[in-house]
Structure 1
Amino acid sequence: MYDIFCAIILGIVEGLTEFLPVSSTGHLILVGDLLGFEGDAATTFKIVIQLGAVMAVLILYWKRYMSMLKDLLAFNFSAKNKLNAIHMIVAMIPALIVYLLFKDFIKMYLFGPAPVLIGLIIGGVLMIVAARVRRRVTAENTDNISYKQAFGIGLFQCLALWPGFSRSGSTISGGLLLGTSQKAAADFTFMISVPVMLGATVLDMYDSREFLTSDDLVLFLIGFVSAFVVAMLAVVTFLNLIKRLKLEWFALYRFVIAALFFLLVM
């Protein structure tokens, strides 16, 4: 019964934090540590419930994804000032390469409370710097983002492989430093989240396949549904929030959370 309680709580945490620049993985690690929900099965569970959040974004942006898939299958990349599959691919490549090269190191040394707290703080500093550095905006919306900017945002996404940095925090910060508006950076972050998270989750699930047993199926399903429902309710609200609030507010939240968890778990 306690495991079911943990599954619901962690599903809610995943759904609430996945789309904010506060690091959902970091929150899952810290909350899981507080709940005593740890071990190989717990790690696999945290991977599985991310699919619930992925589904929420997929449903929200399905028309854009279908349009890009149609252009990709037709090899139609001639339209100017239009976000297409090439933008998505070049943004995904850097993090994919780094993950494949260092995934064992990342899982062994970075998936713990102390590295997460460090990631929260350094990621918060990056967000403050990105928000205060004044760059000329060349991309007001996602259709104005260049391939060069997409690749640069992909490089910043590599930072998110360190739990605590936050994928959206890293990519939005990168977008601002590379000349996109905060709205364009947030939208692009949401768009690339599906293929990135889906790919990473499938790879992690394959690596953890020995822990995907029928005994834990109900637990995984509860966490998945919890994450999906909460993410569906939160995604539109949080997307508007990210576009309007300055990154400094999210950075402040990260500092406060890091301090609280330092007192609780360290």
Structure 2
Amino acid sequence: MDVLDAIILGVIQGLTEFLPVSSSGHLELGKAILGDSTVPEESLLFTVVLHFATALSTVVVFRKDIIDLFKGLFQFQWNEETQFCTKIVLSMIPAVIIGLFFEEQLESLFGGNILLVGMMLIITALLLWLADRAKDTQKPVSFSNAFTIGIAQAIAMLPGISRSGATISTSVLLGNDKSKAARFSFLMVVPLIFGKIAKDILGGDLTVESGNFTTLFIGFVAAFVSGLVACTWMIKLVKKSKLSWFAIYCLIVGIIAVGFGYYSA
């Protein structure tokens, strides 16, 4: 993997992690465009670094919220911050179950399955279109909502289903406030990403020798900077109910991917 590939994939990850267009789906499309020889299978460390960069950009954007959450937790009371963190834990359960017990089956869906990516992008487009037409409310995310949104997050582990798109859309369709839905969606994934990185490191799946420091650093910076922009932009777009723009984009890309995947099969 050369420097240009690292920049391209870093920007793709940074933008699509927060914009509701599926980062996993676009990374698969990026691999198909760049070619397998350009993006080798041993790039697991590079992929993990990109996810770490976007998780870190989330922490930066929501640093005040995260600090307030920790302050509330250390009061050891059943306050608003403790309740919010409990909802985050509830939302993680479905994805943790999938990750622990169906990791191999899930990984088998990755690796250039463009037809699947295209179909899932079309489903993402439908979710975004429905959410864009939902009425805006002031309703916060409830405990039952948190678990349901967590199921959406687990389904979004499929390549082509947007995690932010699925979780925000599900939250909004449940009647939650759009701003609160976006905030919850972005914060709920941070513990999962850090947990996955810790699991891979402790399990010996990642080694320093498996990556080039130059491409790792450049990819990290590209993903982090583009992630900051995308996260901030997405919050504003959700407030203005502009999800239909991304629904159209996902539909077009999905149809093209389905066509390409069908005729190249």
TM more than 0.5 = yes
TM-score by length of 1: 0.86
CA–CA distance in structure 1, aligned partners of residues 166 and 193 of structure 2: 15
CA contact 2:22–2:121 (8 Å) conserved in 1: yes
Shift, 1:206, TM fit: 5.5
CA contact 1:91–1:154 (8 Å) conserved in 2: yes
Alignment match, 1:100:
100
Structure 2 gap ranges (5+): none
Q: Deviations over 1:40-97 (max 9, x none)?
A: 22343222211111111101111211222233344322349x8621121111111111
TM-score by length of 2: 0.86
CA–CA distance in structure 1, aligned partners of residues 206 and 229 of structure 2: 33
Alignment of 1:66-81 (within 5 A): 66-79=67-80
Pair 206,248 (structure 1): closer, same or farther in 2 beyond 3 Å: farther
* Alignment RMSD: 2.5
Alignment match, 2:128:
127
CA contact 1:94–1:155 (8 Å) conserved in 2: yes
* Amino acid of the structure 1 residue aligned with 2:234: F
CA–CA distance in structure 1, aligned partners of residues 24 and 173 of structure 2: 24
Alignment match, 1:4:
3
Shift, 1:170, TM fit: 0.8
Alignment match, 2:65:
64
CA–CA distance in structure 2, aligned partners of residues 167 and 181 of structure 1: 18
Alignment of 1:73-222 (within 5 A): 73-79=74-80, 84-112=84-112, 113-132=114-133, 137=137, 139=139, 144-204=140-200, 209-210=205-206, 212-213=208-209, 216-222=212-218
Q: Deviations over 1:186-222 (max 9, x none)?
A: 1211221322222234435556735641652221111
CA–CA distance in structure 2, aligned partners of residues 210 and 56 of structure 1: 22
Aligned with 1:245: secondary structure? Answer: coil
CA–CA distance in structure 2, aligned partners of residues 255 and 20 of structure 1: 14
Q: Which of 221, 226, 231 lines up with 2:227 in the alignment?
A: 231
Task: Give me the identity figure in percent.
Answer: 34
CA contact 1:52–1:224 (8 Å) conserved in 2: yes
Shift, 1:10, TM fit: 0.6
* Amino acid of the structure 2 residue aligned with 1:14: Q
Aligned with 1:213: secondary structure? Answer: helix
* Amino acid of the structure 2 residue aligned with 1:64: D
* Amino acid of the structure 2 residue aligned with 1:177: L
CA–CA distance in structure 1, aligned partners of residues 80 and 125 of structure 2: 37
Aligned with 2:24: secondary structure? Answer: helix
Shift, 1:162, TM fit: 0.4
Shift, 1:130, TM fit: 3.8
Pair 111,242 (structure 1): closer, same or farther in 2 beyond 3 Å: farther
Range that drifts further, 169-178 or 238-247: 238-247
CA–CA distance in structure 2, aligned partners of residues 100 and 92 of structure 1: 12
CA–CA distance in structure 1, aligned partners of residues 201 and 260 of structure 2: 30
Alignment match, 1:50:
51
Runs of 4+ in 1 over 6 A off after TM superposition: none
* Amino acid of the structure 2 residue aligned with 1:68: L
